[in-house]
Amino acid sequence: MKKLWIYLAGIGLAACNGNTTKHLSNGVWQAKLHRKDGADIVFNFDVRDSIGKPVLFVLNATDKLLVDDVKQQGDSVFIKMPFFDSEFKAKLNSDSALEGVWVRHLADKDVSIPFTAAAGNADRFPVNKPAVANVTGRWATQFVSPKDKDKAPSTAIGEFKQVGNLVQGTFLTTTGDYRFLEGVVDGDTLRLSTFDGSHAYLFTAQVGKDSISSGRFYAGIGDGLEYWSAVKNDTARLPDEKTIATMKPGHEQLDFSFPDLNGNKISLKDDRFKDKVVIITLMGSWCPNCMDETGFLSKWYEKNKDRGVEVLGLAYERTPDFEKSKKSLEGFLKRFDVKYPVLVTGVTPADPEKGEKTLPQLTGIKGFPTTIFINKKGKVQEVHTGFSGPGTGEHYEQFQANFNRLTTDMLNAK
């Protein structure tokens, strides 16, 4: 790894002398993040020209994530992801071959993993055999950490659609979904993966007609590993999102005051919120499900703000430092053209007392995003934990219908 960084520094110097001989090939590339355990996390991206400079789209099932901060200096290529404070630093060995590292800038340190990519390969995973089973449907799923075998398994619902060998889908959990998963069933082997700059996941398993076994879930840069299995169950359900976090007995209203990105304190007692329906989202720029919800809320607010409704974001960033939090949020909010205020709580998502420190009237903050609906009288009407994003298909459509019905009912209430 040290040799690679030295080499990248060297080719950066070469760029100063105008030694640019290679260029990223247009078209679809196959990329791999090389974990130490040999479980490569595979994804694809599509390189295109945009007004004389390259941009790329990270491809996951039906999702295309635009990455427009792509710079080349000599044989060095620097790709900054639009969210989650991560980037690629790589050497262009040829027009169709990249080698380097993916770097995540965490609150207290940087972590990295080797990365390679090859142009002209639109496959996610190779297919050598016809699929022995079709995983289309709904699966009651359990995840178990090998480090915490004494703990009860965590539950999820897998939802997949398979055509031939190709599979798309996601896992639904009580706090959100795993966004867009894509892969194959090769013989009796299932492989799924996703990458968005934060999520870097690989799922493998053996499939049968009504069961999935011997599953491995590889997550991220380190040694993240869980075992998983699933049973086909069309009636599988998760707990009601409205029961995971609630208002404490005897409490009907929230009371807080936090600074916006300009340092101005904002409170629900301010005039702009008086006699209005207020939708509060507990979010963070590090959170992929928050990204999906922010994309929805930003467009929704522009269409509905004149109806007597306000949206307000409370950000729980990975650092309590205001300036660092502000920097992380600015790019995130700009990308989604957010026009409603977002406040910096100064409390991290990892803080076990984040609920008591920020919204003590709640029974706790159990996941991000959490959405709080406040009626025109200033009383909390519902609290929803988690978010079913566009990767969940019909669940996303149902979410939008429920969201619009609830806000309309609150607006029409006397």
Q: Distance between the two ends of the chain, CA-based, in angstroms?
A: 65
Mean pLDDT of 242-269: 95
For residue 260 the two structure tokens come to: 């916006």
Over residues 48-61, the mean pLDDT reads: 91
| pLDDT over 50 at 4, yes or no | no
Q: Which residue has the higher pLDDT, 18 or 61?
A: 61
State the chain's maximal CA–CA distance in angstroms.
Answer: 71
Question: At residue 414, does pLDDT exceed 60?
Answer: yes
Strand ranges (E), 316-376: 342-344, 370-374
Q: Specify the length of the chain in residues.
A: 414
Above 50 in pLDDT, residue 3?
A: no
Read off the pLDDT of residues 396-407 as tens digits, 9 standing for 90 and up: 999 999 999 999
Determine contact, residues 271/375, Cβ cutoff 8 Å.
Answer: no
Tell me how far CA of residue 33 lies from CA of 76, 115, 171, 220, 374, in angstroms.
18, 5, 22, 9, 43
Burial class (CB in 10 A: 0-12, 13-18, 19+), 390: buried
What integer best gives the mean pLDDT of the chain? 92
Residue 91, pLDDT score: 95
Q: Computed from CA positions of residues 65, 368, 397, 273, in that sequence, does the dihedral angle turn out positive or negative?
A: negative
Q: Which fold has domain 2-119?
A: Lipocalin (2.40.128)
> What is the band of 151 on the pLDDT scale with cuts at 50, 70, 90?
confident
pLDDT at 107: 80
Closest listed residue to residue 268, CA positions, set 380, 151, 170, 191 = 380
Mean pLDDT along residues 173-187: 94
Q: What is the mean pLDDT of residues 94-104?
A: 95
Residue 291's pLDDT is what? 93
Which CATH number is 137-232's, of 1.20.120.1770, 3.40.50.720, 2.80.10.50, 2.40.128.120?
2.40.128.120
Predicted confidence at residue 108, as pLDDT, reads 82
> In the predicted model, what is the mean pLDDT of residues 134-151?
91
Which pLDDT band, with edges at 50, 70 and 90, does 23 fall under? Answer: confident
Average pLDDT rounded to a whole number, residues 142-148 = 90
Residue 368: which pLDDT band, with cuts at 50, 70 and 90? very high
Q: Which two tokens stand for residue 107?
A: 């609150």
* Position 11 confidence tier, pLDDT thresholds 50, 70, 90: very low
Does the pLDDT value for residue 2 go beyond 90? no
Quote the pLDDT of residue 377.
95
pTM for the full model? Answer: 0.89
The answer for residues whose C-beta is within 8 angstroms of residue 91's C-beta and 6 or more apart is 4, 7, 8, 11, 75, 76, 77, 98, 99, 100
> What are the start and end residues of each CATH 2.40.128.120 domain in the chain?
137-232
Q: Determine the 3-state secondary structure of 315 from DSSP.
A: strand
Nearest in space to 29 (alpha carbons), one of 48, 11, 51, 8: 48
- What does the pLDDT read at residue 351? 95
User: What is the CATH code of the structural domain delimited by 257-412?
Assistant: 3.40.30.10
Q: Where in the chain is CATH 3.40.30.10? A: 257-412
Q: Give residue 7's pLDDT.
A: 44
Percent of the chain with pLDDT over 90: 83
215-254 burial code (b ≥16 CB/10 A, e <16): bebbbbbeeeebbbbbebeeebeeeebeebbebeeeeeeb
At residue 10, the pLDDT reads: 46
With 0-12 / 13-18 / 19 or more C-beta atoms within 10 angstroms meaning exposed / middle / buried, residue 328 is buried
